[in-house]
Homo-oligomer: A and B are copies of this chain.
């Protein structure tokens, strides 16, 4: 919170999220228009990117790092409602205020577009509007999957679900497959996992210990996870063990 966001610069050609972000379908001309209204911002782990209720002056994509969307009740209870990974889009064209807090949970780089020009560009660029619709539909699917987790799964199933989501995303980013053991680092604290799953951090800790004791996962330190058998984990999550291998 004490340091200012830092500015840096980069090029769309060697952008790591070029083919997955909101600009994925853009051709050369469209990309040039985007370049004119774009700028990069960096945030440190823990920094708040956008405060709920604030006016939003920009929209943009996560380039690297992880951010969360959270809602807070008056008495302090909080629920995470979005987990933003590289290529995910932040902001809602056509809306004024930000409805949720956006917080960087790791060091974060964002590719930002000034909101007004972006909206105008979108109005005359079907490639962007179309891609944004696609991405919004994906987010809606993820939110609905998440609702099943929140509403109907046990604490143990919730943890297993979250681990399997992170494992699959990690596999798709690093392009390792889903056969054989999967290894990754948890990008979230126990408290953030609790906010994701509608649990307390104590319950998260207990269930992770239990999964470890039962051999469903292995832990090195607090964050480094190995999953020896992905099918086993998905059974624990209460998910179909078959199908769903394309991410």
Contact = CB atoms under 8 A, between A and B. Distances in A.
- What range describes how many residues of A lie at the interface? 35 or more
Interface string A138-172: 01110111111011100000000000000000000
Contacts of A129: 126, 129-130, 133
Contact of A147 (B123, B150, B152): B150
A144 B71 contact: yes
Number of copies: 2
A140 B95 CA distance: 13
Interface in A63-112: 69, 71, 73-75, 77-79, 81-82, 92, 94-95, 99-100
Contacts of A238: 73-75
A115 to B, nearest CB: 14
A238 B238 CA distance: 31
B137 A240 contact: no
30 contacts: A71-B144, A71-B145, A71-B148, A73-B152, A74-B238, A74-B240, A78-B152, A79-B147, A79-B148, A79-B151, A81-B144, A81-B148, A82-B144, A92-B137, A94-B137, A95-B137, A123-B130, A129-B129, A129-B130, A136-B137, A140-B143, A143-B144, A143-B147, A147-B147, A147-B150, A150-B150, A150-B151, A150-B198, A151-B197, A152-B198
